[in-house]
Amino acid sequence: MFFTLITGATGGLGREYALECAKRGYNLFLTATNNQRLEKLKDDILLVFPNIKIELSQCNLADEFDRNKLIKLIKDKGIKINRFIANAGIDFEGPVLEKETDELLKVIKINCEATIHLAHFVILQKPENEKLFLLIVSSLASYFSMPQKAIYASSKAMLTSFFIAMHEELKDKKINVTIVCPGGMPTTQEMINSIKSQGLSGKLSSTSAKVVAIKSLNKLEKNKATYIPGFFNRFLKFLSLPFTKLFIARQINNRWKKTRKKAKELGN
Ligand SMILES: NC(=O)c1ccc[n+]([C@@H]2O[C@H](COP(=O)([O-])OP(=O)(O)OC[C@H]3O[C@@H](n4cnc5c(N)ncnc54)[C@H](OP(=O)(O)O)[C@@H]3O)[C@@H](O)[C@H]2O)c1
């Protein structure tokens, strides 16, 4: 029996992935750090889709030991993963000078290290003749050098770059790899405030998590390498093409300084 492994399943986008996958009849293996929220999610899904098999496991993705425990649990239970949605990720906003080194490194551990660690495990456990689907949640930020969001944008840049390479490397091995790069999604109060503080462009750039989940799963079926949700976000990426990274970083720095001030006034 095959399962879809979803990290960060209890968050705004993760929950939408879990619900959409259940709707499509996929059995689920859900992880996050908070067990109560995992149990609640399982109950909510089973209420609507009682025939889906759901496994849960707590895992702190920042911790290599915990990740190895998760992998051992999957192996011991004889579970086969045929879909992996690498959704867990933490945001980081603000000047690097205001952060501790540990905070910077945690972003790399969760966003990059954990995603590559679990993706590699999932690839290696694939039976030769079965198909495997990897959906990697990156960000529109991954295409830019972003002052005030430097470590976050760089961590996502690594994911986008690495998994585009994997898309090519694995395409003849019955493995679909899609990287989804959303702009804003109103998933947390912090994100809602951040989107509001960006005014019209924030509004135009934002897409609901449900739409992102449905459309990115559809792109994965078609083995599209990358998917940027929303016309405005695709247009922004296109507009940026003739400019240097440094030029764009300067514009972003000036803009973020203003929007962070507004976001702080809104309560972030
Ligand atoms: N929201 C946006 O505007 C936006 C835009 C572009 C890309 N993205 C990306 O989309 C993905 C989902 O974002 P979201 O807005 O849905 O985030 P969210 O609501 O904050 O959810 C984050 C999820 O990750 C889990 N998580 C956090 N730290 C963890 C850790 N150390 N180990 C294991 N799990 C951990 C959380 O569960 P616990 O609390 O139980 O640990 C939660 O389920 C992320 O990769 C994010 O970078 C978001």
Domain parsing of the chain, residue ranges: 2-192+203-241
The alpha carbon of 88 and the centre of ligand 1 are apart by a number of angstroms equal to 4
- Just give the CATH number of 2-192+203-241: 3.40.50.720
Ligand 1 — pocket residues by CB below 6 A? Answer: 8-14, 32-34, 37, 59-62, 87-91, 110, 137, 139, 182, 184-185, 187-188, 191
Closest-CA residue to 239 (of 135, 143, 166, 145): 143
| pLDDT tens track, the chain, 268 positions | 899 999 999 999 999 999 999 999 999 999 999 999 999 999 999 999 999 999 999 999 999 999 999 999 999 999 999 999 999 999 988 899 998 999 999 999 999 999 999 999 999 999 999 999 999 999 999 999 999 999 999 999 999 999 999 999 999 999 999 999 999 999 999 899 888 888 898 999 999 999 999 999 999 999 999 999 999 999 999 999 999 999 999 999 988 777 777 766 766 5
Q: Which atom of ligand 1 is nearest to the CA of 195?
A: 3
User: d(Cα 256, Cα 209) in Å, to the nearest integer?
Assistant: 23
Q: Ligand 1, atom 21: nearest CA belongs to which residue? A: 11
Angstrom CA distances, 9 to 28, 40, 62, 138, stand at: 10, 11, 16, 15
Q: At residue 247, what is the residue type?
A: F
Q: Which atom of ligand 1 is nearest to the CA of 187?
A: 15
Residue 110 is given by DSSP the state: I
Give the largest CA-CA distance in the chain.
55
The alpha carbon of 231 and the centre of ligand 1 are apart by a number of angstroms equal to 23
Q: Report the pLDDT value the prediction gives residue 267, as an integer from 0 to 100.
A: 63
Q: Ligand 1, atom 48: nearest CA belongs to which residue? A: 185
Q: Report the pLDDT value the prediction gives residue 155, as an integer from 0 to 100.
A: 98
Q: Which atom of ligand 1 is nearest to the CA of 37?
A: 40
Residue-wise over 77-104: b if at least 16 C-beta within 10 A, else e? eebebbbbbbbbbbbbbeeeeebeeeeb
The alpha carbon of 149 and the centre of ligand 1 are apart by a number of angstroms equal to 16
149 SS3 class: coil
User: d(Cα 95, Cα 47) in Å, to the nearest integer?
Assistant: 44
Select from 13, 117, 208, 210 the residue to mutate for testing ligand 1; criterion: most ligand atoms less than 8 Å from CB.
13
DSSP-H helix ranges across the chain: 12-23, 35-48, 64-76, 101-107, 115-124, 150-170, 189-197, 199-205, 209-221, 231-239, 245-265
Q: Ligand 1, atom 34: nearest CA belongs to which residue? A: 32
Q: Report the pLDDT value the prediction gives residue 224, as an integer from 0 to 100.
A: 98
Select from 65, 85, 90 the residue to mutate for testing ligand 1; criterion: most ligand atoms less than 8 Å from CB.
90
Q: Which atom of ligand 1 is nearest to the CA of 61?
A: 32
Q: Report the pLDDT value the prediction gives residue 197, as an integer from 0 to 100.
A: 84
- Overall size of the chain counted in residues: 268
User: d(Cα 111, Cα 19) in Å, to the nearest integer?
Assistant: 23
Q: Ligand 1, atom 5: nearest CA belongs to which residue? A: 184
- Residue 116 has, within 13 A of its CA and on its CB side, a CA count of 16
DSSP 46-98: HHH-TT--EEEEE--TT-HHHHHHHHHHHHHTT-EEEEEEE-------S-GGG
The alpha carbon of 89 and the centre of ligand 1 are apart by a number of angstroms equal to 4
